[in-house]
A and B are shown apart, each in its own frame.
Chain A
Amino acid sequence: MTTDEKTTLSTLPDEQRTPLLKRLTGANTLWIGLVLLVLVATFGAIRPDAIFQVTTLQFLLAETAVLLVLSVGMTFVIITSGIDLSVGSVLVFASVSSAMAMNAVSGGDATNAGWGVIAFGLLVAVVSGAVWGLLNGLLISRAKIPPLIVTLGSFGAAQGAALLLNNGSNVSGIPDKLNRTFGSGTYLGIPNIVIVAAVVTALGALLLSTTRFGRYTYAVGSNEEAARRVGISVRGHLTKVYLLAGTLAGLAGFMGNAFFRVAVVTGHETDNLNAIAAVVLGGTSIFGGMGSVLGTVFGVFIPAVLEKGLVIIGVKEFWQPIAVAIVLVAAVWLDQTRRRARNQR
């Protein structure tokens, strides 16, 4: 026992922790943020006129807002070492049922409906999302069916149910008021839908990093048995996490309605994969126990920026999925190497 090895904690003032800079550089959140910054800078340098245009940025942000909300929920799920394949279908289900509910209480067409109807639509969207989330959560935590299978099931079932609701067609009649305010409205140049997504994301980040709920989310993903032995209700917590993911998918469905002015039944088949990719790109470990909402924000924007940027600089946009795939696989490979190195001690 050498003296320099024995830096007991009593000699450290209680605030002396790993220095901030070291903590930051040790986290992959920082690196993934840098990747995003480099992407923006590169595209910006090539075509500053097109990239830094207000409308380009507004559109980029608004299009990404819905995926961001889905990905925040997915972050919690993946940190518990679970997966949720159903988010896109739940989004569609919530979107369709909300639009139909608004139409129903407005006598068939909600285009001119007021705030009361809109609030009702929001409630329907959030509750229907929550119900799917709860179903997922109960099947995973109580029936002990692997999350992959449960949510693969609800992925199909929610999509099918959404198609059944309106016989497979899109639902129009979204209130104009909703679209004008939350869909296309802006505040200080920022699309309102982006503000909603930003608020949701900030709340999600706080929930994950500062509360007991967040702490238990990490603990369950890190070592379920350890969590159980210290008396954490693992089943209850898993149920809540999938409930959260479903609720956010419901909210995302409502945001989609506001933005597109129609409840679309197609085009969300790969939302689940996009959200998973965003979360994993953002440094959240697919094996659970590690991750952050901030990382997920970066992870959401990297594919979005790539797509927009490649189009603007004239590269075929078909390169975008290839580029994202490479970054994604590299991110997981990095995560795995780090874990292996760490666990060898």
Chain B
Amino acid sequence: MSQPLLEARDLTKNYGTVEALRGASFTAYPGEVVSLIGDNGAGKSTLVKCLSGVEQPTSGTLFFDGEPLVLDSPNSARDLGIETVFQDLAVAPDLDPAANMFLGREILKPGVLGLLGVLDKKAMRRQAAEHFTRFGATLQSIDVPIAALSGGQRQSVAVARSVAWASKLVFMDEPTAALGVVQRERVLEVIKRVRDEGIAVVLISHNMPEVLSVSDRVEVLRLGRRVARFKASDTSVEELVGAMTGALTQEDAA
């Protein structure tokens, strides 16, 4: 296979005496959808936090495009084109979708007004509208607060915001957890569309059929370690569950 886009080797992360990661490894290749699965407490969220710069691993190394990498903040991950859709969404409920999409990356008016920090709201609304359409976020109106949207629409906004800024890789921590059937399908569509644009997607999910339907590869975490790697096309739900529960291990996975 080609050179991994993002690779983690032997990460450990301790919270006091709790070992959330015990030598976890992880690999994502360019332009693929790779699912990261594991039982509750397996360390998925911690691993994603370490890979997206939110937390720093206690030990272990990260590689980006083959180069060693230190992520000291979410911003340094973002600078590399790595974005994250967090499980708790993290949107500002009182701001409208366009404001949320451009939060922290506002477009300013040209000239003197821009120097004074004046926002170009029209441009942001227009670009946001285009973008939401492209990624299938259906909103009745672009200028209502996020809080007035349904859970699914909020989710679409959070997903669309991240993929808008990702040029290399997007982490999605259970992006379909709170969604209805239709919206779930739509998010899966978005995931595929993002991959087709050459951006790698790391999907964290508890839904095995969903994982198999959308992923190219699957990596399994158990007790803070990678215990198995599969190609999605030649594995099954039984095999995945076996790996998650410890019934099945691959010697070469760690």
Q: Which residues of A contact B (CB under 8 A)?
A: 1, 5-10, 12, 14-15, 17-18, 23, 210-213, 215, 218-219, 221-223, 225-227, 229-232, 288-290, 339, 342-343, 345
Q: Is the CB of B117 within 8 A of A231?
A: no
| Leading 10 A-B pairs by shortest Cβ distance | A230-B104, A289-B94, A222-B92, A222-B94, A226-B90, A211-B117, A14-B126, A10-B133, A9-B129, A212-B117
Inter-chain pairs besides A15-B122, A223-B91, A342-B148, 10 sampled, C-beta below 8 Å: A9-B138, A14-B130, A219-B92, A219-B99, A222-B93, A229-B86, A231-B78, A289-B93, A342-B145, A343-B147
B189 interface residue (CB < 8 Å to A): no
Decide if B92 touches A226 in the complex (CB within 8 Å): yes
B144 within 8 A of A: yes
Which residues in A have their C-beta under 8 angstroms from that of B148? 342, 345
Contact in complex: A1, B143 (CB < 8 Å): no
Q: Is the CB of A226 within 8 A of B103?
A: yes
22 A-B residue pairs with CB within 8 Å: A1-B182, A6-B138, A9-B132, A9-B138, A9-B142, A17-B125, A18-B141, A18-B144, A210-B121, A211-B118, A219-B95, A221-B94, A222-B92, A222-B95, A225-B90, A226-B103, A227-B103, A229-B74, A230-B103, A232-B103, A343-B147, A345-B147
B133 proximity list for chain A (CB < 8 A): 8-10
B95 contacts which chain A residues (CB < 8 A)? 215, 218-219, 222, 289
Answer whether residue B216 sits at the interface, using C-beta atoms and an 8 A cutoff. Answer: no
Q: How far is the CA of A223 from the CA of B151 in the complex (A)?
A: 16
Q: Which chain B positions have C-beta within 8 A of A230?
A: 103-105
CB-defined contacts of A339 to chain B, threshold 8 Å? 147
A218 and B147 contact, Cβ closer than 8 Å, known pairs A9-B129, A230-B104: no
Cβ–Cβ contact A215 & B106, under 8 A? yes
B149 touches A345 (CB 8 A): yes
- The secondary structure that dominates the B interface is loop
With A223-B90, A223-B92, A289-B93 already in contact, the answer to whether A215 and B119 are too (CB < 8 A) is yes
Give the B interface residue count (CB, 8 A): 45
**What separation, in Å, do the CA atoms of A213 and B104 have in the docked complex?**
11
Query: Which among B119, B130, B132 has the greatest number of chain A C-beta atoms within 10 A?
Result: B119
Cβ distance B154 to chain A, nearest Cβ, rounded Å: 9
Is residue B116 contacting chain A, with contact meaning CB distance below 8 A?
A: yes
Give the docked Cα–Cα distance between A288 and B74 (Å).
25
Residues on the A chain within 8 Å of B122, using CB: 14-15
For A221, give the chain B residue with the smallest CB separation: B94
Whether, in the assembled complex, B71 has its beta carbon less than 8 Å from a beta carbon of chain A, the answer is no
CB–CB A213/B94 < 8 A: no
B210-239 with Cβ < 8 A to chain A:
none
- Near A by CB (< 8 A), chain B positions 110-157 give 116-119, 121-122, 125-126, 129-130, 132-133, 138-145, 147-151
Task: Give chain B residues whose Cβ lies under 8 Å from the Cβ of A232.
Answer: 103-104
Please tell me if B179 contacts chain A, counting CB pairs below 8 Å. Answer: no
Chain B neighbourhood of A342, CB < 8 A: 145, 147-148
The answer on a CB contact under 8 Å between B118 and A223 is no
B92, A18: Cβ atoms closer than 8 Å? no
CA distance A17 to B141 in the complex (A): 6
A231 near B118 with CB under 8 A, answer no
Q: Does B70 contact A (CB under 8 A)?
A: no
- Let me know if B108 is at the binding interface, CB within 8 A: yes
> Residues of B contacting A223 with CB < 8 Å?
90-93
**A14 and B150 in contact (CB under 8 A), knowing A211-B119, A221-B94?**
no
Give the CA-CA distance A18 to B138 in the complex, in Å. 15
Q: How far is the CB of B128 from chain A (nearest CB, A)?
A: 8
Cβ of B75 under 8 Å from chain A: yes
Residue pair B91, A226 in contact (C-beta under 8 Å): yes
Q: Are B108 and A212 in contact (CB under 8 A)?
A: yes
Given A231-B74, A231-B75; A290-B142 close (CB under 8 Å) = no
What residues on B are CB-neighbors of A219 within 8 Å?
92, 95, 99, 103
Contact assessment for B104 and A345 in the assembled complex, using a CB-CB cutoff below 8 Å: no
Q: A17-B125, A210-B118, A211-B119 are in contact. Are A9 and B139 (CB under 8 A)?
A: yes
CA distance A213 to B147 in the complex (A): 22
The CA-CA distance from A107 to B54 in the complex, in Å, is: 59
Assembly CA distance A14 to B124 (angstroms):
10
CB-CB under 8 A from B143, the residues of chain A are 17-18, 23
Q: Report B-chain residues with C-beta under 8 Å of the C-beta of A18.
A: 141, 143-144
- Residues in A neighbouring B150, C-beta threshold 8 A: 345
CB distance from A253 to the nearest CB of B (A): 27
Q: Which residue of B lies closest to A342 (CB)?
A: B147
Whether B125 lies near A14 (C-beta < 8 A) is yes
CA of A190 to CA of B192, assembled, Å: 64
The interface residues of chain B lying within 8 Å CB-to-CB of A221 are 94
Contact between B75 and A210, CB atoms less than 8 A apart:
no
Query: Across the interface, which residues of B come within 8 angstroms of A7, CB to CB?
Result: 138, 140
With A8-B138, A17-B142, A345-B151: A218-B104 Cβ-Cβ less than 8 Å:
no
Bound together, the chains give a CA A342 to CA B146 distance in angstroms of 10
Instruction: Annotate B187-200 by CB proximity to A: 1 below 8 A, 0 otherwise.
Output: 00000000000000
**Which residues of A lie under 8 Å from residue B90 when comparing CB positions?**
223, 225-226, 229
Q: Which residues of B contact A222 (CB under 8 A)?
A: 92-95
Residues of A within 8 A of B103 (CB): 215, 219, 226-227, 230, 232
